């Protein structure tokens, strides 16, 4: 998604976000001052292949991993 500051915000795995932050590519998403989200990263619109990162975010499972198991409870009507 695009933020109001014209930055690209995307949810990736925590390990991927850690690697991108360590390389200086982006910074952790901070919805409120002092409240960082581990699996969200903020990237500048220019100079980053954010289309590839958006595709990575839509991938059903992390690279080389298994699809996450999701526990779904039936809804009571």
Q: Are 39 and 10 within 8 A, CB to CB? A: no
Task: Report the distance separating Cα 43 and Cα 21, nearest Å.
Answer: 10
Q: What is the pLDDT of residues 5-33, one digit of tens each?
A: 677 888 888 988 899 899 888 899 988 88
Query: Which tops the pLDDT comparison, 47 or 41?
Result: 41
Q: Is 20 left (phi over 0), alpha (psi -120 to 50) or beta?
A: alpha
Q: What is the mean pLDDT of the chain?
A: 75
Whole-model pTM: value is: 0.66
Confidence band of 63 (pLDDT split at 50, 70, 90)? low
pLDDT at 69: 46
């Amino acid at each position: 998604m695009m933020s109001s500051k014209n930055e690209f915000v995307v949810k990736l795995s925590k390990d991927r976000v850690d690697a991108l932050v360590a390389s200086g590519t982006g910074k952790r998403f901070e919805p409120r001052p002092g409240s960082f989200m581990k699996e969200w990263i903020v990237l500048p619109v220019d100079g980053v292949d954010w289309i590839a990162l958006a595709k990575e975010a839509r991938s059903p499972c992390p690279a080389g991993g298994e699809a996450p198991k999701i526990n779904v409870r039936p809804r009571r009507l």
